[in-house]
Structure 1
Amino acid sequence: MKSNFKRALCAISLLAISSTALAQHTAADASAMVRKAVVYLKKNGKEKLLAEASNPKGAFVDNDLYLSIYTLDGKVAAHGANPKLIGVDVSQLRDANDRYFIKDILGAARSAGSGWVDYKWVDPASKALRDKSVYLEKADDLVIAAGFYK
Structure 2
Amino acid sequence: MFSSTPSRLFHILLTTSALLFSSLSHSAEGGASKAEAEAMVKKAVAFIKANGDKKAYEEFNTKQGKFTDRDLYIVVYGMDGVVHAHGANVKMIGKNLMELTDIDGKAFVKERVEFAKTKPHFWQEYKFTNPENKKIEPKAMYCERLGETIVCGGIYL
TM bracket, shorter-chain basis: 0.7 to 0.9
Unaligned runs of 5+ in 1: 1-19
What is the rounded CA distance, in whole Å, between the counterparts of 1:78 and 1:24 in structure 2? Answer: 21
Unaligned runs of 5+ in 2: 1-26
Shift of 1:58: 1.3
Identity of aligned residues (%): 36
Q: Does 1:90 align with 2:90?
A: no
**8 Å CA contact retained: 2:128, 2:137:** yes
Which residue in 2 is equivalent to 1:129? 136
Task: Tell me which structure has the larger Cα radius of gyration.
Answer: 2
RMSD of the alignment, in Å? 1.4
Letter matched to residue 91 of structure 1? M
Which residue in 2 is equivalent to 1:70? 77
Which residue in 1 is equivalent to 2:7? none
Q: Does 1:59 align with 2:86?
A: no
What is the rounded CA distance, in whole Å, between the counterparts of 1:80 and 1:89 in structure 2? Answer: 16
SS in 2 for 1:68: strand
Task: Pick from 19, 39, 49 the counterpart of residue 32 of structure 1.
Answer: 39
Which residue in 2 is equivalent to 1:120? 127
Letter matched to residue 40 of structure 1? F
What is the rounded CA distance, in whole Å, between the counterparts of 1:146 and 1:67 in structure 2? Answer: 5
Structure 1 runs of 4+ aligned residues shifted over 4 Å read none
